[in-house]
Structure 1
Amino acid sequence: MIIQDLKCNRIENPLGYALSKPRLSWIVEPGAEGATLQQACRVEVALDEAFLNILHDSGKREDIDSISYVPELGLAPRTRYYWRVHVWTDRGEAASPVAWFETAKLDEPWTGRWITPDWEEQSVHPLLRRGFSIHKDIARARLYICGLGLYEAELNGQRVGDEYFTPYCNSYNNWIQYQTFDVTGHIRQGENVIGAMLGNGWYKGRFGLSGITHGYYGKHFALLCELVITYTDGSEDTICSDKGWRCAPSHILDSSIYDGEVQDARKYTEEWSSPSFHDAGWDGVRCLDIDFNLLEARRSLPVRIKEELQPVKVIHTPKGETVLDLGQNMVGWVRFKNKAPKGSIIQLQYGEEMQEGCFYRDNLRSAKAEFTYISNGQPDEVQPLFTFYGFRYVKVEGWPGEVRAEDFTGCVVYSDLEATGTLETSNPMVNRLILNALWGQKGNFLDVPTDCPQRDERMGWTGDAQMFSGTACFNMDCDAFFHKYLYDLAQEQATLGGIVPLTVPSFGLNEQDSHTGSSAWSEAATVIPWNLYLHYGDKAILEQQLSSMKDYVDWIRQQDDGSRLWNTGVHYGDWLALDGDGEFNPLGGTPTDLIATAYYAYSSELVAKAAKALGKDSMAADYFKLSAEVKAAFCQEFVTPSGRLAADTQTSYILALFMDLVPESFRPRIIEDLRRNLEKNKFYLQTGFVGTPYFCRVLSENGHNDLAYRLLLNEEYPSWLYEVKMGATTIWERWNSLLPDGKFGELGMNSLNHYTYGSIVEWMYRNMCGIQPLEEAPGFRKIRLAPQPNPLLKHVKASLKTASGLYESAWSYEEDGLHYRFRIPFHAEAELVLPDADIKDITVNGISLEAGSLSYKEEDRTVNMVLKTGQYEIIHSVKQ
């Protein structure tokens, strides 16, 4: 028996994060002992790794849940806390390894000052530096730092940490994150030097939906830091940013999220990495007045180089271009080995697709997406520092000699998210689709859940995030990632009177146009918190976001004239659906007031459920009542007395069924009308961003599982596998991003890495493989295990590492019938639902169900049984 995956706030050993209430979690693997149930647990927290100075001891208790345990602690600033767990089970006991979490500054005041180069020209990228001496033995050292727009810190010529794009992207006018780094190993006896390099980033660079906004949040480079050194005798020294620092222009001539980066290595000096700092020729700095109240401990997960890819080939195009093919649409950059003579100019241009055999990037709109490097003649490995690209292809110019694939490496960059889910089927094209959705998540989960990572946009669109959030949580542990995003959302919302902005951060989008939120987009405020609660079982997200959820629904209610309809404002509708007017018209055919009213009911119900989960029964009753009133208004406005929907669109039917908007007596007709609509469209989808995420789920859960598989496996346009046939390695923004002849469709808004339609993967986990979380037991402590096979696929298998442990679900069609394989984790259980089954035809681990020990029941040709911790092979003997 092993206790593993010890996390605090869903992060392993978090250093310097916002930790007002540490939430501890862990997973027990039963091992060879075959433990199935937890009988008791003990959690200890101490100030030392030997647990001599214990601050919290829960004692041996039966009520502790490994999904989330909150110890009673009064936290001190800049303090490391160690914790461990002891578990008693039905087959023995086990102790965990020691984990830790460390606080940041908390309410401790800053002694450092915000500094900036004392230059008139604020476009010059600076180096900032100062020296200091150490003459005592060091116990530990921590660097508390923030730089605007982006920073990279160094100590004695060593890069601090392995993160990129610190201090990350959020609404800087509401809060600014600082990071904490353990730099004990960087400091030496005698002379030392600390420094930082600054770039434009989101804060002061060209960024925003208009594509022309410069410095929306700030106009000046700025640095704030405190290096706190604790000696073995218990004394401390603090090296602060102040007027004593010096600055000089760096070798980065320009940087931009959209346009790329220009480096002149001839300007790089070895002095930058030398501990002997002589500031002759360096300029002074001045202090800036930036509100210290904006500073908060980090919430963003680190952004790191998570993978590396080698180019699969070097292409020489009909135009004479030399192009690297990475074989995968990815996000990050290409690192290369420099061998060019001094003064040589190497330029890389990044693009997603080739056209007519040549390099192409018109779909990036105004984004230049370039990297320019001027060589100093010295061998080096070169990469950008303050930008990223969305690309598969890289055009290389100015390279000395032959361009060889082995001289380049694709650095795949995204937030440090743990992979939790895997899926595999008998169909290679479906497997590629699953990978495409995963790569879309990797590319767009770079601190903010962006819509696309390549063109002059790359913003945290709320609609894309909420529509994909369910799939995201199956693919990866997204709890901490979305905690930060939703915190930022609530900060923005508080300044807008309850309106949820279209993008988070908004970058002034609400100021630039008439939009005041849109249904399905603004639902990020309600849908994402509820999805996190279902997946991770931690009420902390509901506690953090309940006011935001409630304020959003209350804002809708203010637009309501008593009719309980949401028929005001500007809405995006079923974005990019194919049933609208015109081939490239982004607005679908489903009336926007129908969609808005549906989401009004849905969000009201989610607020009620969140309130109920938190024990706020009066609030829950109020919002359940509101939701019921909106549903009644929906029926009065959009449904005839005989159950006919006013709009004959696939999305209309899908919303009515998925959001339970109509009486039970109307459902059969609406289901049949949806089927007829599909038949009218030759069983191809016509849905956009709103209808697509729920489409196959609605079909499978309403008696048309065969049509769900048919939609999945369609290979012609419009379909998921059409994209795969066309060579897609991520999810497209449009069903027809590329036309059958391989040419781009509409260019004004056409991304080849736009994950929303990848939400089909949630259906694969929930319905195809049957792994469904339950509201009454969130965090997968109990699940409904209801796989829905179809002979169009011969076999399928899924694994899912949940907050409760590892689930596995697989099925395959064999000669003797349908074989299922399941794994249920420790201290968990699943209600297995097998449709079209007879107990006489079922064996469990080689024993007939009737003769075995499992509890079961049979009703309407459906067999239900309860599976406890363990592994099961179940055979349903049927002729196929």
Structure 2
Amino acid sequence: MKIINLKINHIKNPLGFSLDKPTISFVACDTKANLQVAARIEVAYDKEFCNIVFDSGKSEQIDSLGFELFITLEPRTRYYYRVTVWADNGETAISEAAWFETAKLDESWNAKWITPTLDNKRHSVLSKKFNIQKSKRYINSARAYVCGLGLYEMNINGKKCGDEYLTPNFNAYNKWLQYQTYDITDTLAEGENSIDVALGNGLYKGRFGFDSEENIYGDKFALLCEVVITFNDGTTEIIRSDETWKARKGKVLYSNIYDGEVYDAGFEDDTTYDVEEIDLGHDRLKARLSLPVKIKETLKPLEVIKTPSGETVLDMGQNMVGWIEFRTNAPKGREILLQYGELLQEGNFYRENLRTAKAEFKYISDGGEAVARPHFTFYGFRYVKINGWYGEVNADDFTGCVLYSDMELTGHIETSNPLVNRLFLNALWGQKGNFLDIPTDCPQRDERMGWTGDAQVFSGTACFNMDTFAFFTKYGYDLGSEQEDRNGMIPMVVPAANLKGGGSSVWGDAATIIPWNVYVQYGDKSILEQQFDSMKAWVDYIWREDNASGSKRLWTKGFHFGDWLALDGEDPSFPTGRTDITFISSAYYYYSSNIVAKTAKVLGKTDIGKEYEKLSNEVREAIRDEYFSKNGRITINTQTALIISLFMDLVPEGKRERTINDLRERFKKDNNHLKTGFVGTPYICKTLSENGCNDLAYTLLLNKDYPSWLYAVTMGATTIWERWNSVLPDGKISGTDMNSLNHYTYGSIVEWMYRYMAGINPVEDNPGFRHIKLLPKPDYRLKYVKASYNSAVGLCESQWEITAEGKLNFKFIIPFNASATLILPDAKLENVKVNGKSLNDTLLISRQKNEHVYVELNSGSFEFYYEPEIAYI
């Protein structure tokens, strides 16, 4: 047995994170045992565990999905911890030591906020020289606690601190400011040392938002920096930002998230300028919640293209987010300009769909050999146009640096269909490109905002593809912060920046749906504890809107996006779709109030749970009265209305079959092609597979003509598009006003691929994959499917294959300390074999129910095969 994936608050070895409630999670694997019978958690000041600060002892109460440490944490302290697990077969294992280190906690700041006495638009570097009198061997540890506004990069003795970028990340700066912690022990030198902090605009003071405003959160660069050096004798030395620091003009002449950066490597100005204290206070400061944004992978150009118009263009082969790093030895003063775009038109470089975003990087050479990159911006691109290059353009001189939040990849799907495999990768790349500290709607144009609706729609897929617990915890904190002075209303984007308005259904329901999805996926209720007030406040906002319009238990007031970008609407200039907006809003009123009721019960808030359960039932009855005839016919005959009615259980009792038949008829009229937008699309295939229409779900998946998921794949897409027809069949872009080629929302189909195509489902009543509902639903149009998912309890695998003779083979891996209910389709109990034996001759609990065979499984590997009752060839 081995114990792996030790995490605190779902982060490995977190340094300087906010740890209000430190929660340990872990995974046990490589064992033939079935269950954990006990565990022990030890926490110490040292990795040898001589100085213990917490010892749970051998306990049956420790849950590997999340065990809260009830210890009083000290500031600026590293703790080591390890886990021992006892299994039901007598095996025991002890983990390697992991660690976490606290930030300043409630400790007061010695540092002051400072700003350069330069023009507010001039990018500056703030610096401090200091001496360490003692020998370096006497330094026990050194940490820097830093927040720079808008963005910053810190160097000590000429070396970049840390391996993350775009700090202090993106959040509602008027609500809270994150500071980062750096381990700089090995960076310091004996004698003189220097700190340099370069500052960029970011969304704090740079151009941002639909109105392209500047100075949204502030109009001055600012820095707070406190370096604490601890010596072996226990003494400390503190270097703090104050008026003794100096400023100089930086080599970054200009930066903006939308427009890019100008970097003059040859700029030299020895003039130093004073800094002055700026009154930003310390009350908004909070240890970081944001995961680091890192270069997670690199790509080399697929080819160097000479376009028909004579341009030199790099094709990276993949729509990606980050930047290009390049090597050059251009002569002094030579200007090299990189321009970024997503597609070619008639073979030429094109980027009109970026709207006003310039998306450039200008590098001015100092005459020496250099490796160049931007510092305070990022780009969404596949193609890069090169201007002013010195010498021959060689692909080896360029590297694509792929930037996203530091999340572990957890899921993978492979099928017999290469187009479906590419669709899965497109959704994954969409997540990589848009999960850059916040879940952005697009990473390339003059927007890049944390649209709540997009994040909500995609959250189920996101949790399968990557470990997103910490990512969504931070986003949820920001979302709740934005509600505080909006009386519970959720803005359209989070952080809200300068965008006014909000309160739309589906978008605002990110407040309830995302934390609930995360809880069910990971089984750790700490996200519900953090977000419960936010979740309830959102439903209370809707409730007040309802009461203000007559207490009909329908949501009839306010602005709503409806089924955004649906194809069945009548107004292409504002594509809300044909589904009645009040129906959609009221459906989500029911759905969110029901989630609040379930959340309250999970958290032991019984009375609140009953109150919101009563509310949700009232809303559902009002919807049934308003939108269904007495015979069960829904009055809104759209795909989205029918899908939502079934998925959210809005259909009147006894009328479900009628609605399913109506849904099939609707699709027949639509030539078995989707017409849905943001509301219907996430649930469309899930609902079909759950309601006896699995064949239609596969038809929608495998359609290759417009509108379909695979249409974009056949057109060469490497990410998910914003519109079903972002690019037309002739290769021309369909429009430039709102047309991102990296927009993950419709990638929500991948959740269906995990849950129904492969059949890997968590269970609400036993979350975190402690119990798994295995519900694979094969279709003859695919010959095999292989899916793996590193869940919160360990590795789950599900595979199926249709043999040449039409038999079904299934393979499953159930992780340690988990169980599963397997539902085999179109099977007869007496015909099923498992691991070479007749299922009836095993000790496995099984039963026949209609056309399915149900089997209860514990952890282990299983292979089932049988001849199905219907033809799969």
**What TM-score, normalized by structure 1, do the two folds share?**
0.97
Matched to 1:803, the amino acid is A
Q: Shift of the alpha carbon at 1:574?
A: 0.3
Q: Does residue 517 in structure 1 map to residue 517 in structure 2?
A: no
Match of 2:658 in 1: 669
Give distance in 1, aligned partners of 2:804 and 2:373.
55
Matched residue type, 1:528: I
1:178 corresponds in structure 2 to 179
Distance in 2 (CA, whole Å) between partners of 1:516 and 1:124 is: 35
What amino acid does structure 2 have at the position aligned with 1:530?
A: W
Question: Displacement, 1:746?
Answer: 2.1
Q: Which position in structure 2 is the counterpart of 1:80?
A: 78
AA aligned opposite 1:259: D
Please name the residue that 1:275 is paired with.
none
CA shift for structure 1 position 669: 1.2
Distance, in Å, in 1 between the alignment partners of 2:203 and 2:768 is 35
Report if aligned partners of 2:771, 2:820 keep a CA contact under 8 Å in 1.
yes
SS at match of 2:841: coil
1:8 corresponds in structure 2 to: 8
Post-superposition offset of 1:583: 5.0
Residue 358 (structure 1) aligns with: 348
Match of 1:276 in 2: none
Amino acid corresponding to residue 762 of structure 1 in structure 2 = E
Q: Is the 8 A contact 2:490 2:508 kept in 1?
A: yes
The match for 2:575 among 586, 590, 594 is 586
| Higher mean displacement: 659-668 or 340-349 | 659-668
Measure the CA separation in 1 of the matches of 2:81 and 2:391: 57
Partner of 2:461: 471
* One-letter amino acid of the counterpart of residue 35, structure 2: L
Alpha-carbon shift at residue 405 of structure 1 (Å) = 1.0
Contact persistence 1:175–1:295 (CA under 8 A): yes
Please name the residue that 1:272 is paired with.
Answer: none
* 1:620 pairs with 2:609: yes
Aligned-pair identity in percent equals 57
1:21 maps to what in 2?
Answer: 21
- Partners of 1:84 and 1:719 lie apart in 2 by 49
Amino acid at match of 2:254: D
* Count of residue correspondences: 862
- 2:382 is matched with 392
Deviation at 1:663, TM superposition (A): 2.2
4+ runs deviating over 4 angstroms: 582-585
Aligned to 2:210: 209
1:273 alignment counterpart: none
What do residues 843-871 of structure 1 show as CA deviations (whole Å, max 9, x unaligned)? Answer: 00000001112111112122111111100
> 1:55 deviation in Å?
1.1
Q: 2: CA distance between counterparts of 1:754 and 1:660?
A: 29
Task: Supply the AA of the counterpart residue of 1:52.
Answer: C
Give 1:664 shift: 3.1
Q: Which residue of 2 aligns with 1:222?
A: 222
Could you say what secondary structure the match of 2:67 adopts? Answer: coil
Instruction: Tell me the SS of whatever aligns to 1:489.
Output: helix
Residue 281 of structure 1: how far off its partner (Å): 2.8
Q: Which residue of 2 aligns with 1:253?
A: 253
Asked if structure 2 preserves the Cα contact closer than 8 Å seen for 1:146 and 1:177, the reply is: yes
2:95 aligns with 96
Shift of 1:516: 3.1
Q: Secondary structure of 2:621's partner?
A: helix
Instruction: Give me the whole-angstrom Cα distance separating, in 1, the residues matched to 2:572 and 2:149.
Output: 43
CA offset digits 1:158-201 (Å, max 9, x no partner):
10001100000000000000000111000111111112000001
Give yes or no for contact 2:339–2:384 (8 Å, CA) kept in 1: yes
Does the CA-based 8 Å contact 1:30-1:36 persist in structure 2?
no
1:864 alignment counterpart: 854
CA distance in 2, matches of 1:248, 1:762: 51
Residue matched to 1:709:
698
1:508 is displaced (CA, Å) by 2.4
TM-aligned CA deviation for residue 744 of structure 1: 0.8
Write the distance in 2 (CA, Å) between the matches of 1:637 and 1:568: 16
Q: Could you say what secondary structure the match of 1:509 adopts? A: coil
Contact 1:113 1:242 in 2 (8 A): yes
**Are residues 1:117 and 2:116 paired?**
yes
How do 1:624-773 residues align onto structure 2 when only pairs under 5 Å count? 624-773=613-762
Summarize deviations over 1:609-635 as a string: whole Å, max 9, x none: 100101111111111110000001111
- Equivalent residues of 1:310, 1:410 under 8 A apart: yes
SS at match of 1:787: coil
| Conservation of the 8 A alpha-carbon contact between 1:584 and 1:746 | no
Cα distance in 1, alignment partners of residues 475 and 572 from structure 2: 34
Q: Deviations over 1:336-372 (max 9, x none)?
A: 1012111111001000010011000000000000110
In the TM superposition, residue 404 of structure 1 has moved relative to its aligned partner by 1.5
Residues 469-524 of structure 1 show CA distances to partners (whole Å, capped at 9, x for unaligned) of 000000000000000000000000111001011000001212xxxx3320000010
What do the CA deviations read for 1:702-748 (whole angstroms, capped 9, x no partner)? 00000000000000000000000011000000001011111111210
Maintained 8 Å contact 1:809/1:820: yes
Measure, in 1, the Cα distance between the counterparts of 2:551 and 2:232: 69
State how far apart, in whole Å, the 2-side matches of 1:688 and 1:440 are: 18
Q: Hey, what's the Cα distance between the residues in 2 that align with 1:735 and 1:223?
A: 45
Q: Deviations over 1:45-71 (max 9, x none)?
A: 111111111111111111211110112
Could you list the per-position Cα deviations for residues 25-48 of structure 1 after superposition, in whole angstroms to 9, with x for gaps in the alignment?
A: 1000134xx122111111111111
Letter of the 2:801 partner, please give it.
S
- Alignment partner, residue 605 of structure 1: 594
Does the 8 Å CA contact 2:502/2:508 hold for their aligned counterparts? no
Q: Given the alignment of the two structures, is residue 56 of structure 1 paired with residue 64 of structure 2, yes or no? A: no
**2:88, 2:536 → 1: CA distance?**
43
Bigger mean CA offset, 56-65 vs 582-591: 582-591
Maintained 8 Å contact 1:779/1:804: yes
CA distance, structure 1, for counterparts of residue 738 and residue 621 of structure 2: 38
Partner Cα separation in structure 2 for residue 681 and residue 771 of structure 1? 30
C-alpha distance in structure 2 between counterparts of 1:96 and 1:838, whole Å: 44
Range 259-268 or range 488-497, more displaced: 259-268
Secondary structure, in 3 states, of the residue corresponding to 2:283? Answer: helix
Distance 2:99 2:497 in 1: 36
Query: Whole-Å Cα distance in 1 between the matches of residues 490 and 402 of structure 2?
Result: 31
Preserved CA contact (<8 Å) 2:827 2:867: no
- Summarize the alignment of residues 702-851 of structure 1 with structure 2, pairs less than 5 Å apart: 702-815=691-804, 817-851=807-841
Asked whether the 8 Å contact 1:516–1:569 carries over to 2, the reply is no
CA–CA distance in 2 between the matches of 1:628 and 1:268? 69
Distance 1:564 1:704, change over 3 A: same
Residues 819-862 of structure 1: CA deviation (Å, up to 9, x unaligned): 00000000101000112210111000000001112111112122
1:274 corresponds to: none
- Structural mapping, 1:195-594, within 5 Å: 195-210=196-211, 212-267=212-267, 281-510=271-500, 515-560=501-546, 561-582=550-571, 585-594=574-583
Cα displacement (A) at 1:296: 0.3
After TM superposition, give the deviation of residue 268 of structure 1 in Å: 5.3
1:585: how far off? Answer: 4.3
Match of residue 191 from structure 2: 190
The amino acid that maps onto 1:335 is E
Q: State the shift of 1:671 in Å.
A: 1.0
The answer for the alignment partner of 2:163 in structure 1 is 162
Match of 2:182, SS? strand
| Matches of 1:90 and 1:499, distance apart in 2 | 49
Kindly provide the CA deviation profile for residues 97-127 of structure 1, in whole angstroms up to 9, marking residues without a partner as x. Answer: 00111110001010100001112x1111001
Match of 1:852 among 842, 849, 853: 842
Q: Distance in 2 between matches of 1:668 and 1:651?
A: 17
Normalising by the residue count of structure 2, what TM-score does the alignment of the two structures yield? 0.98
SS of the equivalent of 1:473 reads: helix
Task: Answer with 664-673 or 290-299: which moved more.
Answer: 664-673
Q: Displacement, 1:204?
A: 0.7
